[in-house]
Amino acid sequence: MTSAPELTVVHVPPSDPRVRPLLHELGHEYSTRYGKDAHAELARYPDEEFTEPYGGLLLLLLERGAPVAGGAFRRYDATTAELKRIWTHSTGRRRGLARRVIAELEREAGARGYRRIHLTTGPRQPEARGLYLATGYTPLFDTTADPETIGPLAFEKHLSISTGKATTP
């Protein structure tokens, strides 16, 4: 019986070359799902928004040195961090990696003093919607409506400032 490879969590700036596979595959997936070039959307926020003191260091999970999952956060407002660019490589899905990325980002945001997490996902990403619901995020939209009629699907989660752990509002 072989054991699963060890995952390494690293915080890197957006300019780190290990980030390129994340953004490339993420852009390709968004473009495929939404029928337009998503690379402009990914470039909408300057790299500085994902660095200290307000933004989250980009997080990567490395397996055998290669990035398999990642994400980032940026300042949404004085007490709220916004998760962005949550990604799991297509070969690493269904292994709980996205849950780990989210937990690490929540912990880091809480350690920086944020008390709330905000995020959005697209209407054609049911896996992401399910992930956020399963990890305790509260939908800020009518969950019975057709997602295509809503547009971006917003979620929130409140954090305990002392521990960075999620709390219920």
What's the number of CA atoms in the CB half-sphere (13 Å) around residue 11?
13
pLDDT higher at 117 or 1 = 117
Of 152, 149, 168, the closest CA to residue 160 belongs to 168
Span 152-161, average pLDDT: 91
pLDDT tens readout for residues 40-57: 777 888 888 988 888 877
Q: Which stretches of 60-125 are DSSP H helices?
A: 97-111
Homologous superfamily (CATH) of 7-167 is Gcn5-related N-acetyltransferase (GNAT) (3.40.630.30)
Of 59, 52, 109, the closest CA to residue 81 belongs to 109
What is the pLDDT at residue 123?
94
Angle at 77 between CA 59 and CA 145, to 5 degrees: 85
Instruction: Return phi, psi of residue 87, to 5°.
Output: -150, 145
What is the pLDDT at residue 142?
96
Does the pLDDT at position 39 exceed 80?
Answer: no
pLDDT tens readout for residues 91-129: 778 888 999 999 999 999 999 999 999 999 999 999 999
Please name the amino acid found at residue 62.
L
What is the residue-averaged pLDDT of the chain? 86
Domain boundaries, the chain: 7-167
